[in-house]
Structure 1
Amino acid sequence: MKKISLYITMFLAVCLLACTEDFNEDVAAPQSYPEESPQVINGFAIALDGGFTSPVVLKNLEENASIQAVKATATPEMTEGASVTFRLQLSDTESFTRIIDLPSQSENNAAVVDASDLNGAVKELFGKAPNPRAIHLRAYVYILDGTSASQLPDPVSLGTVTVTPIAPNIEQAYYLIGTPNDWEASNVSTLIAFNHSGNDVYEDSYFTLLVESPGDCYWKVVPQSIVTAVETGVAESVWIDGVLGTEIDSDASLEGKLDVKTTGAMKIADKGWAKITLNMMESTYTVEVIGEMKLQLYVAGAHQGWDPAAAPIVYSRNFDMKYDGYV
């Protein structure tokens, strides 16, 4: 009988050891911030609410989604019907040297913010690039009692929240493919590069190109990533996903929307020079038809003895029919 009891005891011990195995060992926990103690001022305990307790990626939310921002977790005794409201401010520094007011709505001793307002505020502080930004948040606390409101003397600093704003993916360079390069898609050196200021593409999203149209000049736009894919042997030609066209093929409109999901080509119907401008923040294009013109003129005359071989040249540098040079 003692042997049987011993075997049962050993069996139960093995079972208990087996049950201690952690089957969630390789499962990643949801990303969130370490829980911080509420900030207490004059008996009011203020803390970040659920929407701000983990990084906020705005593209994952509806445009006008409400985000739980700040809440009062405890208050001193208040008169019946009184409530806590908030005024929120953001900054890019802990010292709040530069401040952006963040619109919010207070109810039930908590404040929510609109996703679009947060997106605009973060872009105003840091620029338009869709990078994660560490914003510093503080709140002014008000006690609303009927029609009167009193403000606590000092704002409550609530630490940092990481927010990634919404913006399109803008590449560093774009190229024209079409009639001007005979639609050559494998030799990317024949593509015609759009000009850009060289500044941050999210602060200057305009790319321009002057092109001479033979009439019925068809074109599309190739991003730098596709050119790189061809140059590195990842793709054989530029005809992979990502080339920008328009919904209607042979669209001769002087403005329109660029889209990677469409297969249509834009068209410059007139003959002569044209200026194409891309606004990649809005994914739009405009075409300014300049017309036929010579970019340089020879100026013969008495000033140089009417010698054609010695005639000075004047240039039109801005495609505006105005020429300058020395004669």
Structure 2
Amino acid sequence: MKNLSKYIAFAFLGMAMASCGDDYNDWANPQTNPQEEAITIPGLTATAADAIDLANVSEDSVSTFTLSTAALPEGFQLADARVEVTPQGVEGATKTTFNAGIEGRAAAADLSDLVVNAYGKRPTARTFDAHVYLDAVKDGQAVLIDAGSINIVVTPKAPYIASNYYLVGDMYGEGKWTLADCVKFNHSDADVYEDPEFTLMVTTTKDNQYWKIIPQGNIDAGNPWEIQNDPKGVLGVTKNGDDAMSGTLVTSVTKDDGTTDAPNAAMIAKAGIYQITINMMDYTYTIKQIAPEYYLVGKLQGWSDKLENKTCLMYAETPMVQSYTTQWKDDANLKIWLGSDWADWNSAYGSATMADANTPTGSLKSANNAGAIICPEPGAFYTFKADFSTMTYSWTKLENQNPTEFENVSLIGVGGKWGDNDDVDMTQVTPHNWFIETTLPVGGFKIRANHGWNAGGNWGYTADQKFTSTGKLFNDGGSGDIKIATAGKYRIFFNDITNEYAIIAVAE
């Protein structure tokens, strides 16, 4: 030990000389030389603790290693440790450091961040190459001690998440609770522990529709009820018939006698269109009633979330399938807002890849960090279509890349006024898409181009067409009036390429 003491003494001498200049520091704090190489003390080595499963850690700290007993030179004491770690099997991994006490205990939160940052949240045992260093301190000066290399094994804390989930319930028909009736939730291509949200659009035609959620394992077993009252089993709620629009999902309920049983069914109270979102990282659900009005936000309207720029309404083929046709100029980036979610970026639909995507097809995700959706060929005419029942989208290029252009598109006949000076002009908000918010009396009107009847645009209803708030108009001199049965303020949208329209009453 004499030689070791001499080695440490020399180390201190160098440190003291380095610190005796004009840049004097408080000697009460341990000083270290950044260039100093660690030394070893015979018999002082670190041994890895048992593998750590953070799901089973109830304290703020956890043991990562233990130190063997070794005599230190007179007057020296060990101070805090630091552990340099590198994740195994991660290409391009960088070395990071966490702090620990000399007894080897480190903050559980630090280990959680360490493993999640390196590998993600999936609860799989992960191995780190680690090197333990300690300070030997005497009289406010520290010498770096090398306690050797170990492997630290950590499993992040996370619940069980199946690869897929399915909805089963009354909304799919009376008695529709069998394997064939299970409808799969939509999910991105990401690992479920990185993206734990699953979504599904459902339409209920009756009130009081009960539902439960089936995990992929039961589907694979050929019986949706194969596993129940189990962490990997059927999901439901604690209270039977719970019609809350958000809540906690459970895999079992506790009965009065203390035993557990399968979860109860939740319920959607009123008929309508709903989006169900489940977050399996925290086992919660949210149900949102949908009024099927979807608006584009993006370069085409200046990425504005102001109400006056709520002008790019998608045209409804069905309540769940919506489209928009135009020339996609500039960078051709977009996202989608449900009308009731306007200006809420956390609810904007974008690319489920969580990065900007210019592919002809893709998946949708409603999240603040969803990527922008980009036309595959900026500057060209395309139809963008979104299917919210499958959470997918597609781009289709128009065969005619030179559609007829109109200087004006206007309403004519409003209030019985059909004269040459009675046009009520719409505003072209994007190429070939027109918009106006105006008050309409009871009666009929048509839409025409360039303030005339023979300018290539004379749009109205067919002979047997009844009024609906969305649909297609007929471009012909023989087309009939669009009949308004209730006077009031309306927002009117029209596409002169596809002849699609929307007439939406404004609540006052």
TM norm. shorter chain > 0.5 = yes
Give the corresponding residue for 2:209: 217
Looking at structure 2, the residues matched to 151 and 324 of structure 1 have their Cα atoms a distance apart, in angstroms, of 77
SS of aligned partner of 2:460: coil
Q: 1:137–1:161: 8 Å Cα contact kept in structure 2?
A: yes
Correspondence list, 1:227-238, <5 A: 227-230=219-222, 235=223, 237-238=224-225
Give the corresponding residue for 2:239: 248
Looking at structure 2, the residues matched to 68 and 239 of structure 1 have their Cα atoms a distance apart, in angstroms, of 40
Aligned length: 267
Looking at structure 1, the residues matched to 236 and 79 of structure 2 have their Cα atoms a distance apart, in angstroms, of 53
Give the corresponding residue for 1:306: 460
Looking at structure 1, the residues matched to 61 and 98 of structure 2 have their Cα atoms a distance apart, in angstroms, of 15
Looking at structure 2, the residues matched to 134 and 165 of structure 1 have their Cα atoms a distance apart, in angstroms, of 12
* Distance apart, 1:149 and its partner CA: 4.5
Deviation by residue 1:263-310 (Cα, 9 ceiling, x = unmatched): 222222233211111111111111112247794379985445425389
The one of the two structures with greater contact order (alpha-carbon pairs below 8 A, sep at least 6) is: 1
Q: 1:90–1:138: 8 Å Cα contact kept in structure 2?
A: yes
From the superposition, tell whether residues 96 and 159 of structure 1 become closer, same or farther in structure 2 (CA, over 3 Å).
farther
* Distance apart, 1:195 and its partner CA: 0.5
Give the corresponding residue for 2:197: 206
SS of aligned partner of 2:171: helix
Q: 2:88–2:127: 8 Å Cα contact kept in structure 1?
A: no
Match among 86, 108, 113 for residue 106 of structure 2: 113
Q: 2:236–2:265: 8 Å Cα contact kept in structure 1?
A: yes
Q: 1:69–1:111: 8 Å Cα contact kept in structure 2?
A: yes
Give the corresponding residue for 2:368: none
Looking at structure 1, the residues matched to 189 and 472 of structure 2 have their Cα atoms a distance apart, in angstroms, of 37
Looking at structure 2, the residues matched to 311 and 181 of structure 1 have their Cα atoms a distance apart, in angstroms, of 30
* Distance apart, 1:66 and its partner CA: 3.0
Give the corresponding residue for 2:317: 296
From the superposition, tell whether residues 163 and 185 of structure 1 become closer, same or farther in structure 2 (CA, over 3 Å).
same
* Distance apart, 1:41 and its partner CA: 2.5
Looking at structure 2, the residues matched to 271 and 324 of structure 1 have their Cα atoms a distance apart, in angstroms, of 30
Looking at structure 2, the residues matched to 72 and 84 of structure 1 have their Cα atoms a distance apart, in angstroms, of 15
SS of aligned partner of 2:221: helix
Q: 1:270–1:289: 8 Å Cα contact kept in structure 2?
A: no
Larger helix share, 1 or 2: 1
Q: Residue type of the partner of 1:269?
A: A
Correspondence list, 1:12-27, <5 A: none
Looking at structure 2, the residues matched to 251 and 103 of structure 1 have their Cα atoms a distance apart, in angstroms, of 47
Q: Residue type of the partner of 1:251?
A: D
Match among 74, 81, 84 for residue 89 of structure 1: 84
* Distance apart, 1:64 and its partner CA: 3.8
Looking at structure 2, the residues matched to 171 and 239 of structure 1 have their Cα atoms a distance apart, in angstroms, of 15
From the superposition, tell whether residues 63 and 228 of structure 1 become closer, same or farther in structure 2 (CA, over 3 Å).
farther
From the superposition, tell whether residues 160 and 239 of structure 1 become closer, same or farther in structure 2 (CA, over 3 Å).
closer
Deviation by residue 1:55-89 (Cα, 9 ceiling, x = unmatched): 33343443546315242542541316x33321123
Unaligned segments of structure 2, at least 5 residues = 1-37, 254-262, 294-314, 323-433, 435-445, 449-456, 466-470, 475-490, 500-508
Looking at structure 1, the residues matched to 146 and 135 of structure 2 have their Cα atoms a distance apart, in angstroms, of 10
Match among 74, 81, 87 for residue 78 of structure 1: 74
Looking at structure 2, the residues matched to 210 and 193 of structure 1 have their Cα atoms a distance apart, in angstroms, of 10
Unaligned segments of structure 1, at least 5 residues = 1-39, 314-320
Runs of 4+ in 1 over 4 A off after TM superposition: 93-97, 154-157, 291-295, 297-302, 321-325
Give the corresponding residue for 2:251: 260
Q: Residue type of the partner of 1:226?
A: N
SS of aligned partner of 1:129: coil
Deviation by residue 1:187-225 (Cα, 9 ceiling, x = unmatched): x23211110011111111110111113332322111111
* Distance apart, 1:44 and its partner CA: 5.8
Give the corresponding residue for 2:161: 170
SS of aligned partner of 2:65: strand
Answer yes or no: is 1:193 the counterpart of 2:184.
yes
Looking at structure 2, the residues matched to 206 and 168 of structure 1 have their Cα atoms a distance apart, in angstroms, of 13
Give the corresponding residue for 1:273: 273
Q: 2:46–2:132: 8 Å Cα contact kept in structure 1?
A: no
Give the corresponding residue for 2:45: 47
SS of aligned partner of 2:186: coil
Looking at structure 1, the residues matched to 177 and 52 of structure 2 have their Cα atoms a distance apart, in angstroms, of 40
Give the corresponding residue for 1:56: 52
- Which deviates more, 297-306 or 85-94? 297-306
* Distance apart, 1:157 and its partner CA: 5.0
